[in-house]
Amino acid sequence: MTDASSFKALVLNQQDGKTVAELTTLKTADLPSGDVLIAVDFSSLNYKDGLAVTGKGKIVRRFPLVPGIDLAGTVLESASSAYQPGDRVVLTGWGVGESYWGGYAQRASVKADWLVPLPDGLDSHNAMAIGTAGFTAMLCVLALEQAGVTPEGAKPVLVTGASGGVGSVAVALLARLGYRVAAVTGRPENETFLRELGAVEFIARETMSQPCRPLETQLWGGVVDTVGGRVLARAVAEADYGAAVAACGLAGGVDLPTTVMPFILRGVKLLGVDSVMCPSEPRRLAWARLSRDLPAATLERLTQVVPLADVPRLAEAILAGQVRGRIVINPNA
């Protein structure tokens, strides 16, 4: 690829204090410097992309910026001995799509250290059907496993925000691994979708959002929480003695209205999960597990593919809690 080569990109700018997203044409020379130039096959839409593209989250500090917090594609040029042209790679996190140009373009220039070789068994499309959300779901499952939660446990594992990106992949992963999965959703119309992914019990978001005592009846052997707030507080109050709660999200708020009692009297373990700065070794391990534990047919069921032009509309929709499952972005469509 030469500097004259042009490519399609979604670019964020600021006009009158507002974030504006524009589909435009860039040249390779416009890209920030990086070790590796990638032909992007697919990116995906995550909650954080919603915040970036709409400007509601104030997470983009430098404009212009190509958003898109993840990507999968093929190496075109590499100044790093770790990667050769033709290698298939996946990238999530590290501030890409926030502080650095990201995946909503046909080309990306990135640091070699941010990349993970695409594991055997995954193609670019499936890697972005997983994307940041699915990678985070896997980190949550790994955190529960490390805390001793097993499929043989007497009580089910609860997943909150179940129809969302992280939630739906967590449901599918846990069910595939043999856990009994209970799903919290505010959209009863998604119960069939969630049942197909493997959920066997359903709890209304409204029920989970009611104020509760710090200790309630013990119902859950483990929890993957993507929403925070009162829902997380109730999940903690209903966690079984010694259970682990993997908390990764705040779609329902940043507060946690509970006390120390569940942690002291029931030994509940609250495990914070961060995908952005996750070090390289556990990152590769999580991708290897994703390729092993998530069948392509399951990924197909929870995914829709859209072109770059649809991103601004869907960015609003994901913040409004209206997106179901995973959205893969095809910059080449």
Please identify, using beta-carbon distances, which residue of 96 and 227 lies nearer to ligand NDP.
Answer: 227
Rounded-to-integer distance, Cα 161 and Cα 246, Å:
13
Q: Which stretch binds ligand NDP (CB under 6 A): 22-30, 96-104, 141-149, 155-163?
A: 155-163
Q: How far is the CB of 160 from ligand NDP (least distance, A)?
A: 7
| CB of 158 vs ligand NDP, minimal distance in Å | 12
Among 249, 268, 299, 329, binds ligand NDP (CB under 6 A): 249
Q: Which of these, 246, 199, 252, lies nearest to 225 by C-alpha position?
A: 246
CB of 28 to ligand NDP, least distance (A): 30
Residue from 36, 91, 227, 268 that binds ligand NDP (CB under 6 A)?
Answer: 227
3-class SS of residue 275: coil
- Cα(77)–Cα(197) distance, rounded to whole angstroms? 39
Beta bridge partners of 92: 70
Q: Which residues pair with 156 in a beta bridge?
A: none
Least distance (Å) between residue 136 CB and ligand NDP = 4
Q: Which helix (H) or strand (E) holds 303?
A: strand 303-307
- Using only the alpha carbons of the chain, give its radius of gyration: 20
DSSP per-residue string spanning 255-310: -----SHHHHHS--EEEE--SSS--HHHHHHHHHHHHHHS-HHHHHHTEEEEEGGG
CA-based angle 147:161:20, to the nearest 5? Answer: 120
Name which of 298, 305, 260 is nearest 137 in CA terms. 298
Q: How many residues bind ligand NDP (CB under 6 A)?
A: 33
46 touches ligand NDP by CB under 6 A: yes
If the CB atoms of residues 37 and 133 are measured against ligand NDP, the closer one turns out to be 133
Name residues contacting ligand NDP, limited to 274-313 (CB under 6 A).
274-276
Q: Binding of ligand NDP at residue 262 (CB under 6 A)?
A: no
Tokens of 6: 């042009």
Q: Which residue has the tokens 């790679």?
A: 89
Among 23, 59, 177, 250, binds ligand NDP (CB under 6 A): 250
Q: Does 43 bind ligand NDP (CB under 6 A)?
A: no
* Token pair of 211 as six digits: 């104020």
Only one of the segments 21-29, 40-48, 72-80, 289-297 lies at the binding site for ligand NDP (rule: CB under 6 A); that segment is 40-48
Q: Which residues bind ligand NDP (CB under 6 A)?
A: 46-48, 132-133, 136, 161-167, 185-187, 190, 205, 226-227, 231, 248-252, 273-276, 318, 321, 323
